[in-house]
Structure 1
Amino acid sequence: MHGPVFHLLGLSQRAGKAVSGDFAVRQHIARGNVQLLVIATNTSERIKQDYIRMGQSKNIPTVLAFTKEELGSALGKSPRAAVAILDANFARGIGRLLEKGEE
């Protein structure tokens, strides 16, 4: 997988505008500085619903995309259940590409 979304996820990670890992994602959601929440499709239903509920409570756009392994690979890390994008421009770009169906 080396599509444009994969590229933008990697860029946002290198720019320090993406966080992953359960504690970090939850902390940034609570602070209200997450612009887009990307949840892996193969995350357990309980965790997936928990992230979706948190995103809805803070009015954060939330998308289900990629597997945990693909998200981790895009960020240069181990498998990740969710990635929080902190920058509005990265969030807008990733969101638009996912809406078009590009991965």
Structure 2
Amino acid sequence: MTQQQQWMSLLGLANRARKLISGEELVVKEIRSGNAKVVILSADASKNTEKKISDKCAFYQVPLKRVESRSMLGHAIGKDARVAVAVLDEGFAQKLRTLLD
């Protein structure tokens, strides 16, 4: 199993366990509330979205990881293209940080 397959299946697992939030506005809300343990942003996000999310992550000290594309991110959680997801569980977040380094 490649590293890409590993993080994608882990993200799917986190989603099924309801430990994941997707969608730009909801992700920003979770960062603000302190629930987001790691945020994953697609490399093809718009400049505005990228700035908003990376600024929020920096301010609230939430680790930010990037992945290739929004379709890959959506595919990992069994949905349409997603630009950003926030993982709300420390266990999943730690493993994802390791895989995405």
Q: Which whole-Å CA distance do the structure 1 matches of 2:48 and 2:29 have between them?
A: 18
Give runs of ≥4 in structure 1 deviating > 4 Å: none
Matched, 1:32 2:37: no
Unaligned runs of 5+ in 2: none
Partner of 1:21: 23
1:67 Cα deviation after fit: 0.5
TM-score, L = length of structure 2:
0.93
1:66 Cα deviation after fit: 2.6
Work out the percentage of aligned pairs sharing the same amino acid: 30
Q: Which whole-Å CA distance do the structure 2 matches of 1:40 and 1:49 have between them?
A: 12
Partner of 2:87: 85
Matched, 1:74 2:76: yes
Deviations 1:58-78 (A, max 9, x none): 100001113100000101111
Deviations 1:45-97 (A, max 9, x none): 12111100000111000011131000001011111110100001101101101
Cα RMSD over matched residues?
A: 1.3
Partner of 1:52: 54
